[in-house]
Amino acid sequence: MVSIRNAMALALHTLQRREDISNLQWTSIKNGQNFIVQKKTGSLVKIAITSYLQEVLSKCRDDVVSPYIIHQPSKANKARRGRKLSANSLTKGFFRARQDCGY
């Protein structure tokens, strides 16, 4: 699933928790930085948008209109399309990806 691949890339590059990756919104990107309020601590974190991160964010844009960077794809049913992927969905997707790699 492309959304899981993008979520993994964002998690690795930004070092954020699954809940924070799930909650990322396009409106949190301002002036070349991604502003994240961490769910667990309430801390505000500013992450510079590097060329690699910009590339990952570009891959997250698709034909589904959604405020969330990581969201349900166009293959999802209409009721779920564009909604954010839950933290549990990310956990299950990460687990499947690890299994597919043999880890």
pLDDT digits (tens, 9 = 90+) for 34-78: 999 999 999 999 999 999 999 999 999 988 889 999 998 877 777
Instruction: Give the chain's domain count.
Output: 1
Q: Is 101 exposed, middle or buried (0-12, 13-18, 19+ CB in 10 A)?
A: exposed
Residue 30: pLDDT over 90: yes
Q: What is the pLDDT of residue 75?
A: 77
CATH number at residue 29: 1.10.443.10
> Which residues have CB under 8 Å from 56's CB, separation 6+?
6, 9, 10, 13
Percent of the chain with pLDDT over 70: 99
Which secondary-structure segment (H or E) carries 103? none
Q: Which domain holds residue 8?
A: 2-101
